[in-house]
Amino acid sequence: MCGTASAAVAAGGHVLAKTATEWNGSSWAAATNMTYGRRQHSLIGTQTSGLVAGGNDASVTVPFIGCLEYNGTSWSNGGNLPADQNGTAGAGTQTAGLLSGGGAGSVITKEYNGSSWAAGGSLPSAKNNGAGDGTQTAAYTTAGYDGIQITATYEYNGSSWTTVNDCNVARHYPASAGNMNSGLICGGGYAIETIFSTESYDGTTWSMRADLNAAPSSTAGCGSNNTSCIRGGATASEQYSE
């Protein structure tokens, strides 16, 4: 999912779903489906200028290198990743994107310029299925999985990552929103795991916020800051505001 709490797009999901839907602040409506489906991908940017990167097929045996760009109406091919990658944390925009982590656990960071990908600074430690948000030159990534669910948080300055304060609750597959100085994560877990808690980030410290109401695992979210977020999952969507 990418965009804001009043203008978002969600695409893809479990078992190679191609489906895309748009949120207008009060309701969801069908959008043009992706040309091919995927899950465990990153979707970054806005409702009218989005980028889907990486992902894998339903059996988790074929990660993808293909990327798709969305203009608010239709999908087109973007620049391929140098190598297949899934389970990444994403940040940035369609013309200045950022992916980190992924696979079985990776330190890889990739930067997108609107047409091609280049290597960025490596993460301090390997992880996958974490949360991320911000811009290509000011991003955060937190939580994820490296054999166990983790709380590690890192900030990116456009060239290198720095270790900062951990989030409070270890989780993977959370929804995220906001930016490096005003971030939000919520939910998390996969299959039978259920983490309902929400945390906000002020650029220094993570603080607990109101819990989710339902369906917290394998969720996705977006929003411009930590006071306004829309998140959705297989069975429910919820809006957060302060």
Q: What is the mean pLDDT of the chain?
A: 93
For 92-127, the pLDDT digits (tens) are 999 999 999 998 899 999 999 999 999 999 999 999
Please, how many CA atoms are within 13 Å of residue 102, restricted to the half-sphere of its CB? 29
Residue 200 has pLDDT above 80, yes or no: yes
**pTM of the predicted structure, to 2 decimals:** 0.94
Is 118 inside a domain boundary? yes
Is 240 inside a domain boundary? no
Cβ-Cβ contacts under 8 Å for 215 (sequence gap 6 or more): 233, 234, 235, 236
Domain with residue 168: its CATH number is 2.120.10.80
Q: Whole domain around residue 118: which residue ranges?
A: 2-232
Is 158 inside a domain boundary? yes
Task: Select from 207, 242, 204 the least CA-distant residue to 225.
Answer: 242
Is 142 inside a domain boundary? yes
Is 58 inside a domain boundary? yes
Is 238 inside a domain boundary? no
- Encoded amino acid at 211, one letter: D
For 61-98, the pLDDT digits (tens) are 667 888 999 999 999 999 999 988 899 999 999 999 99
For 12-40, the pLDDT digits (tens) are 987 678 899 999 999 999 999 998 888 88
For 168-184, the pLDDT digits (tens) are 999 999 999 999 999 99
Total domains present in the chain: 1
DSSP run (H or E) holding 17: none
